[in-house]
Structure 1
Amino acid sequence: MSLHPDFLRLPIAHRGLHSAGVPENSLAAFTAAIEAGYGIELDIQPAADGTPMVFHDYDLLRMSDDEGYITDMDLDDLAEIRLADTEETIPTLADTLRLVAGRVPLLIEIKDQDGRLGTSIGEVHNQVASLLEAYEGPVAVMSFNPNTVEAFGKAAPDIARGLTTAAFSKDDWPMLDDETREKLSRIEDFGRAGVSFISHHQVDLANEAVTDLKSKGVPVLTWTVRSAAEEAEARKVADGITFEDYRP
């Protein structure tokens, strides 16, 4: 399934259009993005029962006063969590789909459940696939873990899927061995994972693997652009941007 052209036409708000008083990955941030006419990027972590929750981190501490892990908590407990000292709560993916309702493109990143971008990927990709069966509107799913993307493709072959990619430096990815980091940085799993696009770190767009894919007509998105100057540089290679901290 190819990437909908709206992902290239519209800038994509990273974790929604968040700002002071409007937390990332919240329904308020998604509403703000829709009202501004931007696409939305969001992250998925599973709750204890496997329900796809819209949340970036593995633990809750950065976004709340709770020191727990999201995968250890049930829906009732998660409903009590308040994000960044606001009244916003952690939305489910189902809540988010009802809110967005196809009005803007929705880029869904399933966070790695393995810890080493390996094969222990859990079941959350199947839950995401199930929820998207009846969704109408531009949507795409991606992950840093090629195994997650490949498995999602088997569960939902008609939904566009991509790889989230980067240079995979040792400083940023200390849990990976050198061989794995080098393989991922060369995007060698592009064919195996059956993807139609990549979303690559904006500081590494000169990567030969990126330019090779672009020369073959593969759409290249980039993350995370944080200024007009960064955007101008990124667009020399990237077809679409994921942004925050400014408005394109």
Structure 2
Amino acid sequence: MLKIGHRGAKGHIAENTLESINQAIQFGVDGIEIDVHICKSGQLVVFHDFTLDRMTNGTGEIGKYTLKQLKQLRVEDNYQIPTLTEVLDLIDNTILVNIELKGEATGLPVCQVIDYYVANKNWSLGNILVSSFQEKELLDVFNHNPNIPLAVLTKASVTKAIHFAHRIKTKIIHPNFALLSKDNVKEAQKLGFKVNTWTVNTKQAIKRMKSYQVDAIISDFPDRL
């Protein structure tokens, strides 16, 4: 079972920051999950929300700010919003990075970054996983390069996630843990699917997911895994 830090080590340090990701690495994770948006100047930035208000001293939509403007903001008073390339440089192909396509039109730009890192920085596609709730973004990635590993996110239906996964020829689904039972995990795995579940934080829930023999657990507290 893979241990994956959610937005780094979100339970310990501000989510989606280099410091949070570094903390997850110190905990010995097999991978980290991050979210990406495109900012006004065209770069991919690692941030969860569509707006800045919850996590920063800025306000409004992240897509309306240039990278220079975003770098001047502070995440929870202490941290910066990183770019995707800064995160990849920090990880340096040592663990899995699960890039969630959060913002619109992020699929193709993420592909271009992946292509560059595979060609020029010796990254392995085996250390990359691109996930999304947005079918269009996953289709964009699949149509650009069917070799990039994809995962279908769902908080609604394991069956629907599997159905769409067939369209993009992936065998990885990311269901919310509340959707899972021992039976539907076993059924999905029998069909050849890997079941990576999120966001599993309490000791009881972690124990239950382990008893279901899921393939990976994504947690705010990767040290509990």
Interval of TM-score (by shorter of Structure 1 and Structure 2): 0.7 to 0.9
Is this contact kept in 2: 1:48–1:73, CA < 8 A?
yes
Give the match for residue 100 of structure 2: 109
Match of residue 100, structure 1, among 76, 82, 91: 91
Q: SS where residue 13 of structure 1 aligns?
A: strand
| Cα distance in 1 between the residues matched to 2:54 and 2:101 | 19
TM-score (norm: length of structure 2): 0.87
**1:49-74 Cα distance to aligned partner (Å, 9 max, x none):** 33111000000000012112111111
| Cα distance in 1 between the residues matched to 2:70 and 2:128 | 26
Match of residue 226, structure 1, among 187, 201, 208: 201
Letter in 2 for 1:128: V
Match of residue 206, structure 1, among 158, 165, 181: 181
Letter in 2 for 1:130: Q
Matches within 5 A, 1:25-174: 25-38=16-29, 39-86=31-78, 88-113=79-104, 122=105, 124-133=106-115, 134-135=117-118, 136-137=123-124, 138-167=127-156
Give the match for residue 224 of structure 2: 247
Structure number with higher helix proportion: 2
Letter in 2 for 1:30: I
The runs of 5 or more residues in structure 1 that have no matched partner are 1-7, 114-121, 169-183
RMSD: 2.0
**1:15-37 Cα distance to aligned partner (Å, 9 max, x none):** 001345x2100000111111221
Give the match for residue 117 of structure 1: none
**Which range moves more in the overlay, 133-142 or 219-228?**
133-142
Q: 1:242 to 1:193 in 2, by over 3 A?
A: same
* Identity over aligned pairs, percent: 28
- Per-residue deviation, 1:244: 1.3
Letter in 2 for 1:42: I
Match of residue 4, structure 2, among 4, 7, 12: 12
Which of 1 and 2 has higher RCO (CA within 8 Å, sep 6+)?
2
| Cα distance in 2 between the residues matched to 1:207 and 1:74 | 46
TM-score (norm: length of structure 1): 0.80
